[in-house]
Amino acid sequence: MSNMGKSSVIPFGPQHPVLPEPLHLDLVVEDEVVVKAIPQIGFVHRGLEKLVEKKDYNQFVYVVERICGICSFGHSMGYSEAIERLAGVKIPKRAEYLRGIWLELSRVHSHILWMGLAADAFGYESLFMHCWRLREKILDVFEKTTGGRVIFSVCAPGGVLRDIDDTTLSDIKALLESIKGEYTQLCKAFLNDSSVKNRTVGVGVISKEQAEEFSMVGPFTRASGVDYDVRSLGNGAYGYLSKFTPVTDDQGDCYARVKVRAAEVFQSIDIINELISTIPKGDTFEAMKGVLEKDVEATNVLEQPRGECFYYGKGNGSKFLERFRIRTPTSQNLAGMVTSLEGCDLADVNMIVLTIDPCISCTER
Amino acid sequence: MGFFKLGTMTLKGLVKKPETLQYPAETKEPYADQKGTVVNAKPADCTLCTLCAKRCPTNAIDVDREKRTWSISHLNCIQCGYCIAGCPKKVLVMKGERPALAAKKSVEKIKIPAQKKKEVAEKKD
């Protein structure tokens, strides 16, 4: 029997009380079941990649880190590494360790923030407040070590502009131990709750074949069983770790994505502890001078909290770049998100959109 | 029972002091090297070389060599510290306090005193 329901189109976003990002979705709905979702982005496009024409490669790092607030350090680190590859410059080893520590702290901060948002999405406001209270402690660490809470301005082509002394490093270790204890309690409260399970288990399933077909990245794809993580490649400080295995789950639903992000926080805390105990002494910065050669290209990949981010730079013979392109993880995951929305209830739409951890300001720059 | 799991955390919250700062009764001292305001700390040593103005990503600093003034628009400044790193005479510093609230846009202008050329001439003799 053919489907007797009548389709209607419900617009969702860009302003919506439960939608965290300015994304527009046209939901084709038949009797409260979503049949198709058509996304639309472009509400926060600022044209930041065009600013390479006006700012030289040393000034452009301050533009790149303002693409997104949560992924800020990741972008400045990815950009700096791409420029260093373009010019063939090697940075001091201590700078690589410090960049790794700050990137992993960003990842912990992002995942804890995300868990608060996920809890708030279905009304669990006290967990949201507790998660963001934990996040404040990490922001305090950022303020103490870099001078800023959200935008750090500490990574530049040539190394890092600030150093962290040994007392502060051991304070960071002690703080992460206390955060670990509280975060374990929050995870248990969130993951073992039957109402959370009712809303997330079996919702928005993406199989491993679909994940590989759409080339999805990040915890979104690791929850479907694909064990792809850029940190396994061993770039930068990750090459000095004793071992690294990506966290995966094979269920592919929203519950699996929550579990993967929660486990990644513990993994990041272990990585930070290892980097702090093995950090070498030395310089942290050697300023890059001179021009970038004409028509020389460089690429870089980085594991942002949301997935693999790809950076491409091309020089033009002066101190300005010819082109700088960033391919962000959320733009790669949009196809997978649209597929996971097909067949779900209307009430589950915001949960699924949240579990891919969208970052539309990164996507649109 | 899911709702008892956060129970210990909630009960502790009844007796602990609040996590938030009771501003303005309590204030937080800025950390050392915290970002706040860029200031020209030693105008007498400034040579008006304009390196800071050329480096600034937002063009917040303006240097006028004829009128001998150095000015900064605190609203446009993003506290990146690139000007401080590039100053050859080290006259620029970053203070930890944020700039004061203002009702309208304004630019802070400083007059740079003329360099003492007589001392240099005496040394040559």
Token pair 């074949």: residue: A209
Query: Closest approach of chain A CAs to the CA of B39, in angstroms?
Result: 16
Q: Can you state the angle between helices A93-121 and A125-146, rounded to 10 degrees? A: 160
Report whether pLDDT(B123) > 80.
Answer: no
Task: Give the angle subtended at the CA of A294 by the CAs of A292 and A296, to the nearest 5°.
Answer: 80
| Residue B27 confidence (pLDDT) | 82
**A92-105 mean pLDDT:** 91
Q: Which two tokens stand for residue A172?
A: 């960071």
Query: Closest approach of chain A CAs to the CA of B89, in angstroms?
Result: 18
Of B3, B10, B31, Cβ closest to residue A143: B31
Report pLDDT digits (tens) over A153-199: 899 998 898 888 889 999 999 999 999 988 998 888 888 888 888 88
Query: Closest approach of chain A CAs to the CA of B56, in angstroms?
Result: 8
Query: Closest approach of chain A CAs to the CA of B50, in angstroms?
Result: 16
- The residue that leads in pLDDT, B115 or A299, is A299
Q: State the distance between the two ends of chain B, measured CA to CA, in whole angstroms.
A: 91
Q: State phi, psi for A327 to the nearest 5 degrees.
A: -110, 110
Using a CB–CB cut-off of 8 Å, the residues of A that contact B are 55, 58-59, 62-63, 126-127, 130, 133, 136, 143-144, 147-148, 151, 153, 161-162, 182, 185-186, 188-189, 192-196, 287
- Chain B residues close to A184, C-beta within 8 Å: none
Count of pairs with CB atoms under 8 A, one residue in A, one in B: 57
Report pLDDT digits (tens) over B75-102: 888 888 888 888 888 888 888 887 777 7
Report CB contact under 8 Å: A153, B6: no
Q: What is the DSSP letter of A345?
A: B
Quote the CA–CA distance of A184 and A187 in Å, as a whole number. 5
Report pLDDT digits (tens) over B12-64: 777 887 878 888 888 888 888 788 888 888 888 888 888 888 889 898 888 88
Report pLDDT digits (tens) over A220-255: 889 988 888 888 888 888 888 888 888 888 888 889
Specify whether the CB–CB gap between A67 and A361 falls below 8 A. Answer: yes
**Residue among A351, A337, A350 nearest A211 (CA):** A337
**A5-13 mean pLDDT:** 84
| Residue A125 confidence (pLDDT) | 86
**A64-88 mean pLDDT:** 90
Q: State phi, psi for A10 to the nearest 5 degrees.
A: -110, 125
| Residue B118 confidence (pLDDT) | 47
Q: State phi, psi for A222 to the nearest 5 degrees.
A: -70, -25
Confidence band (pLDDT; 50, 70, 90) for A336?
A: confident
Report pLDDT digits (tens) over A127-158: 898 899 989 999 999 988 988 889 988 999 98
Q: State phi, psi for B85 to the nearest 5 degrees.
A: -70, -25
- Chain A residues close to B78, C-beta within 8 Å: 62, 151, 153
For chain A, give the mean pLDDT: 88
Quote the CA–CA distance of A8 and A27 in Å, as a whole number. 8
- What are the beta bridge partners of residue B109? B71
**Strands (DSSP E) along A316-357, which ranges?**
321-327
Exposure string of A32-45, with b = 16+ CB inside 10 Å and e = fewer, is eebeebebebeebe
- What are the beta bridge partners of residue A39? A25
Report whether pLDDT(B124) > 70.
Answer: no
Confidence band (pLDDT; 50, 70, 90) for A5?
A: low
Specify whether the CB–CB gap between A97 and A89 falls below 8 A. Answer: no
| Residue A20 confidence (pLDDT) | 79
Q: State phi, psi for A121 to the nearest 5 degrees.
A: -65, -30
At residue A102, the 3 state secondary structure works out as helix
* Chain centre distance of CA A215: 16
Report whether pLDDT(A112) > 90.
Answer: yes
B82 reaches A (C-beta below 8 A): yes
Q: Give the residue from chain A lying closest to B33, CA to CA.
A: A147
Quote the CA–CA distance of B50 and B40 in Å, as a whole number. 13
Task: Give the angle subtended at the CA of A62 by the CAs of B37 and A298, to the nearest 5°.
Answer: 160
- What are the beta bridge partners of residue A277? none
Task: Give the angle subtended at the CA of A149 by the CAs of A147 and A153, to the nearest 5°.
Answer: 55
Confidence band (pLDDT; 50, 70, 90) for B122?
A: very low
Q: Give the residue from chain A lying closest to B96, CA to CA.
A: A147
Encoded amino acid at A301, one letter: V
Quote the CA–CA distance of B66 and B88 in Å, as a whole number. 20
| Residue A243 confidence (pLDDT) | 84
Specify whether the CB–CB gap between A145 and A168 falls below 8 A. Answer: yes
| Residue B121 confidence (pLDDT) | 45
- Chain A residues close to B82, C-beta within 8 Å: 58-59, 62
- Chain A residues close to B10, C-beta within 8 Å: 126
Render A253-273 in DSSP notation, one character per residue: SHHHHHHHHHHHHHHHHHHHH
| Residue B120 confidence (pLDDT) | 46
**Residue among A206, A185, A182 nearest A255 (CA):** A206
- What are the beta bridge partners of residue A311? A300, A326
Report CB contact under 8 Å: B79, A185: no
Report whether pLDDT(B4) > 70.
Answer: no
Report whether pLDDT(B117) > 60.
Answer: no
Confidence band (pLDDT; 50, 70, 90) for A99?
A: very high
Residues contacting A195, CB < 8 A, separation 6+: A122, B2
Query: Closest approach of chain A CAs to the CA of B5, in angstroms?
Result: 5
**Residue among A243, A207, A239 nearest A226 (CA):** A207
Encoded amino acid at A286, one letter: E
Report CB contact under 8 Å: B5, A188: yes
Quote the CA–CA distance of A75 and A78 in Å, as a whole number. 5
Token pair 């804890």: residue: A112
At residue A40, the 3 state secondary structure works out as strand
Q: Which two tokens stand for residue A64?
A: 């790149």
Distances (CA, A) of A132 to A12, A27, A112, A151: 26, 31, 7, 18
Interface test with A, best of B3, B17, B35, B59 (most A CBs within 10 A): B35
- Chain B residues close to A185, C-beta within 8 Å: 5-6, 8-9
- Alpha helix stretches (DSSP H) within A147-236: 166-191, 194-200, 208-213, 219-222
